[in-house]
Amino acid sequence: MITPKLNLNSKKITPIRSLRHVRHAFLKTDSSLPRKAIEATKELINKTIAKELDVNTFSSSNTIRIADLGCSVGTNTLLAVKNIINAVQHKFQSQGNGTKLPEFQVFFNDQASNDLNHLFTSLPSEMQYLAAGVLGSFYRRLFPKNSLHFIHSSTAAHWLSRVPEEVEDKSSPAWNKGKVHYSNSRAEVIKAFEAQFAKDMDNFLKIRAQEIVHGELMVLILRGSLNGAPHANDYINKVYELLESSLTPMITSTKSTNSWSLPS
Ligand SMILES: C[S@@+](CC[C@H](N)C(=O)[O-])C[C@H]1O[C@@H](n2cnc3c(N)ncnc32)[C@H](O)[C@@H]1O
């Protein structure tokens, strides 16, 4: 792996003070992989909607409510939403209900720190739906019970709700001393991240089960690794390592290095 040489005296380098800085910089430049995930799952979503979506559950209001959780501020979410809406419309038309097409309401969700204004200024002028922004963590309730017909979340739910406590605890065997990520860390560190993921995913699914209309659909696209493959082999983890080795010299104190783990 090649570590880029950074000129720390350059005025162009902004000191990294928080994880949020890193996440924003990273997410702005890395939207092509998430886009590929959305493109790759389009066919699967089409087939699932054609086969499974129950069009009778929204007959009274004739409104279909879709949420994209962890939508970010780029245009990937617009593509995902467009694919879903086209698939639903196709289902209506194929059932001979072409004249009774429903209205669509789309909720774009991300953390409150994300600037959804940016996304809303990119909305197409000829929109097929009514759009609303819902800011806040998807690890808590965001929507009324039984209100959503289609929940979508792509390459977002692998972000944990928090860095596991032990990883930042100097007295714990899982202390991830001086590192910002778990790939290439000791087994105890990896186990702590896995346990946090299990807890978060359990919570995520329980909350979504309340929000979704009974029998309707959720598509979760998550990063994964081949069974048994070391985490360090994962392409994105290599990017995180590169980030780690590039950014660590910019962090001035050991204290801040250790309060700086990536929750992903
Ligand atoms: C890799 S981006 C993917 C964005 C988009 N879904 C796409 O496919 O391009 C992950 C997004 O998840 C969001 N995210 C992470 N944790 C979250 C949470 N707890 N609640 C809501 N959004 C979250 C991040 O802010 C980020 O915008």
C-alpha neighbours within 13 Å on the C-beta side of residue 250: 25
Query: Domain residues for 210?
Result: 19-258
C-beta of 128 in contact with ligand 1 (< 6 A): no
- Whole-model pTM? 0.83
Atom of ligand 1 nearest to the CA of 114: 25
> Would you give the distance in Å from CA 125 to the centre of its chain?
26
Residue to mutate (ligand 1; options 30, 71, 196, 205; most atoms within 8 A of CB): 71
Q: Could you tell me if residue 209 is inside a domain?
A: yes
- Using DSSP, state whether 85 is helix, strand or coil: helix
Residue 53 Cα to ligand 1 midpoint, Å, equals 25
pLDDT at residue 1, rounded to an integer: 26
Q: Could you tell me if residue 49 is inside a domain?
A: yes
Q: Could you tell me if residue 65 is inside a domain?
A: yes
pLDDT at residue 13, rounded to an integer: 36
Q: Could you tell me if residue 13 is inside a domain?
A: no
Q: Could you tell me if residue 3 is inside a domain?
A: no
What DSSP letter does each residue of 120-155 carry, written as one string? Answer: HHTS-SS-SSEEEEEES-TTS--S-TT-EEEEEEES
- List the CATH number of the domain containing 177: 3.40.50.150
For the chain, the C-alpha Rg in angstroms (whole number) is 21
| Residues whose CB is less than 8 angstroms from the CB of residue 156 and which lie 6 or more positions away in sequence, other chains included | 69, 70, 71, 72, 138
Cα gap 216→241, rounded to integer Å: 39
Structure tokens that stand for 38 in this block = 């959305």
pLDDT at residue 79, rounded to an integer: 95
Q: Could you tell me if residue 114 is inside a domain?
A: yes
Count: domains in the chain: 1
Atom 8, ligand 1: residue with shortest CA distance:
34
Question: Which residues of the chain fall below pLDDT 70?
Answer: 1-30, 58-60, 98, 251-260
pLDDT at residue 20, rounded to an integer: 44
Q: Could you tell me if residue 224 is inside a domain?
A: yes
Atom of ligand 1 nearest to the CA of 73: 27
Q: Could you tell me if residue 7 is inside a domain?
A: no
Cα gap 211→152, rounded to integer Å: 13
